């Protein structure tokens, strides 16, 4: 299927493998792994022009009999899927056409905006369901190249900061159930993050699930003892007396 304008195109990286999609939701998947990696790399480096020699090395094309021909084939496969409107380049470099959207980049920018402004009621009001779903996703989960791993690690740090900030803000506003959901996602991904545990336990107590909170606190005690040989920074008694704290702000600037 051909897409008529580049503004209708989106690169989706917050999934197992990269995909091209129109705004109508019709996926356009590259036909080869080389084309998929080309889409992924240019999506991660949106706004940059990348030399063809660098792409040959990064995409593992140097092992091909004719590396430049292999790159041209990958470019052709991408352009053939998008009516030639997806890529822009010269004989020496390549980049995305203006207007091509990248889900990872948009989610990253929204996260940075929240962390700069703080988790105020205005800033967090009506966050799109799609963005909340993106916070549960990792970047290019099926790829293990060094440039993907570095990108994935940055996204992991960023999204966990945002989820923790949202949990604290929801707890302050009395939405303990939502705070539990957000904090659970953080401790699931980063079990040694005591601040998120504190938020989770406070939210469970605020939602009148004291038995569940005590069970999870014991889980934290065992985890820290077995993994680090230490006790939590707060006791059960302190947790019962500690009121909800102000929302996390400004952790990433």
Q: What is the pLDDT of residues 40-72, one digit of tens each?
A: 999 999 999 999 999 999 888 988 889 999 999
Q: Does a structural domain hold residue 228?
A: yes
pLDDT score recorded for residue 79 = 81
Q: Return the CATH number at 77.
A: 1.10.10.10
Which strand ranges, in their side-by-side order, compose the sheet holding 101-102?
27-28, 19-22, 9-12, 101-102
Does 43 lie in the same domain as 108?
no
Lowest mean pLDDT among 9-23, 61-75, 132-146, 211-225: 9-23
Lowest mean pLDDT among 15-29, 84-98, 180-194: 15-29
State yes or no: pLDDT of 28 exceeds 70. Answer: no
Lowest mean pLDDT among 114-123, 162-171, 223-232: 114-123
Does 119 lie in the same domain as 60?
no
Does 230 lie in the same domain as 113?
yes
Does 95 lie in the same domain as 13?
yes
pLDDT score recorded for residue 248 = 43
Q: Return the CATH number at 176.
A: 1.25.40.10
Domains in the chain, number: 2
Q: Work out the mean pLDDT of the chain and round it to a whole number.
A: 86
Does 186 lie in the same domain as 108?
yes
Q: What are phi and psi of 87, to 5 degrees?
A: -105, 150
The DSSP call for residue 114 is: H
| DSSP string for 147-180 | HHHHHHHHHHHHHHHHHHHHHHHHHHTT-HHHHH
Mean pLDDT along residues 122-149: 87
State yes or no: pLDDT of 2 exceeds 50. Answer: no
Half-sphere exposure of 152 (CA within 13 A, CB side): 20
Mean pLDDT along residues 213-241: 94
What sign does the dihedral 230-234-240-245 (CA atoms) show? negative
Cα-trace Rg, the chain: 22
Q: Which domain holds residue 38?
A: 6-99
Q: Does a structural domain hold residue 213?
A: yes
Mean pLDDT along residues 161-175: 94
Asked if 159 and 111 touch (Cβ cutoff 8 Å), the reply is yes
Does 69 lie in the same domain as 182?
no
140: Cβ contacts below 8 Å, ≥ 6 apart: 13, 15, 16, 17, 18, 40, 148, 151, 152
């Amino acid at each position: 299927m051909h897409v008529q304008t580049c503004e209708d195109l989106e690169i989706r990286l917050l999934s197992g493998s990269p995909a091209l999609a129109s705004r109508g939701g019709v996926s356009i998947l590259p036909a080869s792994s080389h084309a998929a990696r080309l889409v992924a790399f240019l999506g991660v480096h949106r706004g940059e022009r990348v030399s063809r020699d660098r792409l040959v090395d990064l995409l593992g094309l140097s092992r091909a009999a004719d590396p430049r021909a292999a790159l041209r084939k990958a470019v052709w496969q991408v352009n053939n899927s998008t009516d030639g409107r997806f890529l822009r380049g010269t004989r020496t470099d390549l980049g995305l056409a203006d207007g091509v959207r990248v889900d990872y980049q948009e989610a990253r920018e929204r996260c940075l905006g929240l962390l700069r402004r703080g988790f105020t009621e205005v800033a967090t009001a009506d966050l799109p369901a799609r963005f909340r779903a993106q916070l549960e996703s990792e970047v290019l989960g099926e790829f293990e190249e060094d440039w993907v791993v570095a990108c994935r690690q940055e996204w992991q740090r960023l999204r966990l900061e945002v989820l923790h900030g949202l949990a604290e803000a929801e707890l302050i506003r009395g939405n303990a159930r939502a705070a539990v959901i957000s904090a659970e996602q953080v401790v699931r991904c980063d079990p040694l993050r005591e601040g998120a545990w504190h938020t989770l336990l406070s939210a469970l107590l605020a939602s009148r699930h004291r038995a569940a909170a005590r069970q999870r606190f014991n889980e934290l005690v065992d985890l820290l003892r077995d993994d680090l040989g230490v006790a939590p920074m707060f006791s059960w008694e302190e947790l019962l007396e500690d009121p909800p704290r102000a929302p996390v702000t400004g952790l990433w600037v």
